[in-house]
Amino acid sequence: MHICFLCPEYPPAPHGGIGSFVQTLGRELVRSGLRVSVIGIYGYGPAFEGEINDEGVRVIRVPSRGPAGLRVFWNNWRLLRALQQLHRESPIDILEGNEIAFCRLPRSAPGLKLLRMHGGAAFFGMTNRVDLWGEKRSLRVADELCGVSQCVADGTRKLLGLGTRHIEVIPNPVDINQFFPADPSVEEDGLIVFTGTVTARKGIRELVRAMPRIVAAVPHARLEVYGGENVFPPPPVPLAKQLSDSLPPEIAARISWKGRVSRSILPDALRRASVCVYPSYIEAMPIGWLEGLATGKAVVASQTGPGPEIIEDGVTGLLCDPYNPDSIADKVIGLLKDPAARQRLGSAARRLCVERYTLPALVERNINYYRTLLGRNSK
């Protein structure tokens, strides 16, 4: 079986996202005996041309070219040609992509087209007409639909009027062999860790605004932020600097902005944390949350979106109001002052990941799903 992912984020960003999902699943599919390719439009210049091999995953990078006014059409034509060439070399059984992956591909593009919902423009409340058109067109081209959470499946169904069309739900996996608990002595008392894109939607403003209260209650508390901004064009003043400048100097000094880092350092960063905090307004199925849970950490996450679907409040983590800095502060302060609660929640979080989100179990589930689709569509 040959699975080809449409993904322009490979190798992935260091803090989750679709690229991380594709890399994690793709490598395991290869280990399970499947042929896996990744193809997408990448950046400009020779550095983005050619192929790379990532633990058996064949990554075909189509560099962006063409005059500005025609670049989108030129690039999509070149992407289709690359797909057709790949299909001639090794027939593609399933072509998988996100909400807008198929918007400019014809129905005749090779492979059964599986649209996996990771959270698109409609789900996240964006009103850009081009993006919304792209999602609707992509949904029409797709043969099958899958969502990474019930939340994203139900939300997209309602927002884009999908009626009774079937949407399979398969959650994102987490590598529990990479993200695992460390000896308790590794934990740095008072350390709060946030991983994710530094953007308003991730609740970083509210987390930063919660810090004065947190530090007042727990004087040795400090925050490390792992992740960069993903805004184009970049603002005149980066959000991290805006937020730091809004704080008293003594509080700003308690926040360390790590920027984009290699994913290889994230497990150790999480293991050092006393509390991991993810106050996003809305998510689809955040891999960052799963990584914190798998590391056996006390996690404070949002009560919105898939929060209740992933975390049982007070049992496997705590849920907060992401729009309310006081709610975030209350949860974090309570955990920083209660090592026993941190241990209890962290142990339950690890068990949750082992029981529900392990990579081998979900890889097998994905393989069975692929086989079911091919069997269903061959009739």
Residue 331 and residue 371 in one domain: no
The pLDDT tens digits of the residues spanning 274-291 come to: 999 999 999 999 989 999
Which percentage of the chain shows pLDDT scores above 70? 94
* The two structure tokens encoding residue 362: 């979900």
Question: Does residue 178 belong to any structural domain of this protein?
Answer: no
The answer to whether residue 330 is domain-embedded is: yes
| 111-115, 130-134, 141-145, 312-316: least confidently modelled range | 130-134
Residue 146: CB atoms within 10 Å: 21
Which amino acid belongs to residue 213? R
Q: For residue range 311-350, list pLDDT tens digits in order.
A: 999 999 999 999 999 999 999 999 999 999 999 999 999 9
User: How many CB atoms are closer than 10 A to CB 75?
Assistant: 19
pLDDT of residue 218: 97
Q: Does any domain span residue 201?
A: yes
pLDDT at 40: 87
Q: Ranked by mean pLDDT, which of 15-19, 104-108, 140-144, 263-267 comes out on top?
A: 140-144
User: What is the predicted pLDDT for the residue at 47?
Assistant: 57
Which pTM does this prediction carry? 0.86
What tokens appear for 375 in the block?
A: 């069997």
CATH number at residue 280: 3.40.50.2000
217-226 tens-digit pLDDT: 999 999 999 9
Q: What is the pLDDT of residues 17-51, one digit of tens each?
A: 788 888 889 999 999 999 999 998 876 556 566 78
Task: Answer yes or no: is 250 within a domain.
Answer: yes
- Selection from 21, 8, 324, 309 nearest residue 155 by Cα: 309
pLDDT of residue 180: 95
Residue 106: give the domain boundaries.
2-172+358-377
